[in-house]
Amino acid sequence: MPIPFLYDTLTNGPPAWVPGWARDPWTLFQIVAVAGFLYLLKRYFSGTATAAERKMHGRVVMITGGTSGIGAAVTRNLAERGAQIVLLTHLPPSNPFLADYIGELRQQTKNQMIYAEQVDLASLHSIRKFATKWIDNAPPRRLDMLILCAATVTPPGGQRIETEEGIEEMWMVNYLANFHLLGILSPALRAQPFDRDVRIIIPTCFSYIRSPSLNNALVKKEWTPAKAYARSKLALMVFGQAYQKHLDAYKRPDQLPMNSRVIFVDPGFTRTPGMRRWLTRGSLWGLAIYLCSYLVPWFVLKSPEMGAQSILHAAMDPRLGMGPGGKLIKECSEVDFARMEVKDEEVAKKLWEASDKLIEKTEKEQAALRVLEKKKQELKEKEKKEAEKAEEIDALIDTIKKGKEAEKKTSRRKGKKTSS
């Protein structure tokens, strides 16, 4: 059908139903040029796909934020390749959404080795509970990769939010949670056999370039969501570099060099729930405008699958499993850091010490609160039991009284009968 049509058009000219503008070769050229330009622009905004391949079968990948956005796309890709996935999510395993999500993922990727562990990254206690359980195993559990995709963002104009433990939410989830998790998991990472190429992948965001300095605290008066988000990402990068040094400094019992590497990744602007929350300012009006003008974010932002490409590159490129760690990957290529602070050891030392102190102080306070709460609970239980006991005794006394009254009545009746 198209061939006879094309032949007919070439020999006899376009059919009568073709409008005038479409008969003009110059107009047609302009349309094709614009369409071609838009196509190339869309390809550019979609970013680079990785060509890296690695056998993932049997490798254990722990991932945070693996239930949505870029993390979900990374999880699906690695699960399809046969990796054993451990999803760290704040949802309990009994949550119907999580059960459905894992069920579907297992079915679609034909991989049954997908599990979830409940870890609320807004809670130091929850992280400690999970991580200590993970390392409390002999021999040490296999761990090939740790991908730290979870993050939270307060939309522009939003209020400063504190976690239940009293720490600013973005600082906690985006930075301190990873500091705490990696700190406790450090023995598990260092204990991996020398021939295991272990990677710790840290997604970051180019906003770290505009972050206020880590040398000065972000006081409440100067706090804005953009500053706090950027600062949490810069802190994560400074810590990541220091963590690589901490791993490298470890003397393995087999005297072989460290085989765990930190790799930073900038995934680029991507259409994810997090990005949507940021663009819509977390409001219904914002969401309505976003949906009405969806063509714009669709055009300029990457799909989650394309946003996942640089992370997959970091996970699979064989060259990144050699040489020193601490590299930054963007569009599937190694790039330089744009802030000197990232590699500043003095800044890293101060940050590490301050983070340790904050964790120690918060954990102590929270432990004391938990003890108090437990005591309150025990007191309540005791009071409840005592009230139940008192009720039981009252009921018993009541029954005895009633029994005695009934006895008295029958003896009175018997007395009357004998006298008559």
Ligand X SMILES: NC(=O)c1ccc[n+]([C@@H]2O[C@H](COP(=O)([O-])OP(=O)(O)OC[C@H]3O[C@@H](n4cnc5c(N)ncnc54)[C@H](OP(=O)(O)O)[C@@H]3O)[C@@H](O)[C@H]2O)c1
Whether 267 contacts 311, CB under 8 Å: yes
Instruction: Provide the minimum distance between the beta carbon of 320 and ligand X in the complex, in angstroms, as a whole number.
Output: 18
The three state secondary structure string of 315-345 is: HHCHHHHCCCCCEEEECCEEECCCCHHHHCH
Residues that bind ligand X (CB under 6 A): 64-65, 67-71, 89-91, 120-122, 149-152, 173, 203, 205, 267, 269-270, 272-275
Query: Which of 214, 257, 260, 216 lies closest to 239, judged by CA?
Result: 214
Nearer to ligand X, 192 or 243 (CB): 243
**Closer CB to ligand X, residue 69 or residue 183?**
69
Cβ contacts of 363 within 8 Å, gap of 6 or more: 124, 125, 128
Cα–Cα distance for residue pair 112/73, rounded to 1 Å:
17
Starting at the earlier edge strand, list the strands of the sheet with 333-335: 114-118, 84-89, 60-64, 145-148, 198-203, 260-266, 327-330, 333-335
- Packing angle of the helix pair 69-80, 96-109 (nearest 10 deg): 40
- Please identify, using beta-carbon distances, which residue of 48 and 191 lies nearer to ligand X: 48
Q: Where are the alpha helices (DSSP H) in 206-344?
A: 225-248, 273-279, 284-292, 295-300, 304-307, 309-316
Pair type for strands 198-203 and 260-266 = parallel
Query: Which residue out of 220, 233, 327, 402 is catalytically annotated?
Result: 233
Task: Give yes or no: 349 in active site.
Answer: no
CB of residue 86 to ligand X, shortest distance in Å = 13
Q: Which is nearer to ligand X, 122 or 189 (CB)?
A: 122
d(CA 98, CA 179): 26
Whats the size of the chain, residue-wise? 420
Minimum CB distance to ligand X, residue 112 (Å): 22
The least CB distance from residue 102 to ligand X, in Å, is 13
Closer of 105 and 121 to ligand X (Cβ) = 121
CA distance 29 to 31: 5
The least CB distance from residue 94 to ligand X, in Å, is: 15
- Catalytic residue list: 233
